[in-house]
């Protein structure tokens, strides 16, 4: 543990050639070449890590689709990218990941554009300090971080498979998780309890949603391999970055923790590096169902490696969403 901490603080490169101090621009400059044929959807791209991911990928010529709950913020990010890179193609569409009907509308609008889809980055995150319910009457952190991205991925998966088959270029899905997934405890990780917890704890809810993100990636990767679909699915931990995700979780304790941990915090460009690495690097070609941090493959928690639990979660989620969509 001490050795790993020293390596992290020093930014020592791992097997990939990158480490904790690597920025997204450095990764893309080394790993990726301009390719205007690619299209990427990046949730949560109106601020923080998502906005930096969009900016950096747009520099390479990738067409960027930004699903935004707040269109004003989306337009601001679009203008900033275009100011730096006037040739960038940025498409802004409205979405609320806490609403199944909104996700359906977004997917219908995107698919009606008849564009390819090469990269899907499920980056948006919610850390609700107090118990809130989504439009589907589901706890908001779980609804936004996991259920919304699950449905979004399901509705776009055939387009990704079709694009990969037509172009011969592997599609990539990246679920942005967190090392905090390891805080989720098995006796609390029950699907119905996570939908409507009787005793809400914000940190537990966030950890559970991030564990679900990894299990989703692992099970979907297994399914893609069985179907021989040329689309990979991986999960990443971006590092601890003080971004807008804690906007609902401010206060003395949170601010003190961030002050004490400041030596461990990443900048936003560093936080976006692992997402960009997994989404673009030739080193990750054909690799699926894995977990990455600091641009290197890492071990996740034992519950996150439970294939049976991953399948069970996928089945329960699929059944729940199908039932809600029939209403």
Residues labelled as active-site residues: 200
DSSP 215-263: HHHHHHHHHHHHHT-SEEEEEEE------GGGTTS-SHHHHHHHHHTGG
The residue among 136, 172, 164 whose CA lies nearest residue 57 is: 172
Sheet holding 231-237, edge to edge: 90-94, 63-68, 39-42, 119-122, 171-176, 231-237, 291-293, 296-297
> By CB neighbour count within 10 A (0-12 exposed, 13-18 middle, 19+ buried), where does 242 fall?
middle
Q: Which helix (H) or strand (E) holds 40?
A: strand 39-42
From CA 76, how far away is CA 83, in angstroms rounded? 11
Q: Both tokens of residue 326?
A: 């029939």
Calculate the CA 122 to chain-centre distance. Answer: 3
For residues 305 and 310, what is the distance between their CA atoms, to the nearest angstrom? 8
């Amino acid at each position: 543990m001490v050795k790993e901490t020293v390596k992290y603080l020093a930014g020592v490169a791992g097997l990939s050639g990158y480490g904790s101090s690597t920025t997204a621009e450095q990764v893309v400059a080394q790993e990726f070449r301009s390719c205007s044929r690619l299209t990427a959807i990046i949730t949560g791209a109106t601020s923080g890590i998502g906005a930096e991911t969009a900016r950096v990928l747009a520099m390479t010529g990738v067409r960027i689709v930004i699903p935004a709950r707040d269109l004003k913020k989306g337009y601001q990010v679009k203008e900033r990218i275009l100011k730096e890179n006037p040739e960038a193609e940025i498409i802004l569409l409205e979405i609320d990941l806490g609403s199944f009907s909104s996700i359906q509308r977004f997917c219908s609008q995107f698919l009606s554009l008849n564009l390819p889809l090469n990269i899907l980055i499920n980056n948006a995150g919610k850390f609700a300090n107090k118990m809130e319910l989504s439009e589907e009457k589901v706890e908001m952190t779980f609804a936004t971080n996991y259920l919304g991205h699950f449905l979004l991925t399901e509705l776009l998966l055939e387009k990704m498979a079709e694009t990969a088959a037509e172009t011969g270029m592997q599609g990539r899905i990246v679920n942005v998780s967190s090392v905090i997934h390891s805080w989720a405890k098995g006796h609390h990780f029950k699907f119905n309890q996570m939908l409507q917890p009787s005793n809400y704890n914000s940190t537990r809810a966030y950890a559970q949603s991030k564990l679900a993100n990894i299990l989703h990636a692992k099970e979907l990767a297994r399914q893609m391999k069985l179907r021989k679909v040329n689309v990979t699915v991986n999960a990443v931990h971006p590092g601890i970055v003080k971004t807008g995700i804690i906007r609902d979780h401010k206060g003395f304790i949170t601010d003190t923790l961030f002050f004490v941990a400041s030596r461990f915090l990443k900048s936003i460009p560093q936080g976006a590096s692992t997402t960009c690495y997994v989404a673009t690097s030739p080193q990750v070609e054909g690799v699926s169902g894995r977990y990455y941090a600091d641009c290197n493959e890492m071990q996740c928690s034992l519950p996150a490696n439970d294939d049976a639990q991953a399948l069970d979660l996928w089945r329960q989620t699929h059944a729940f969403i199908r039932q809600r969509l029939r209403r």
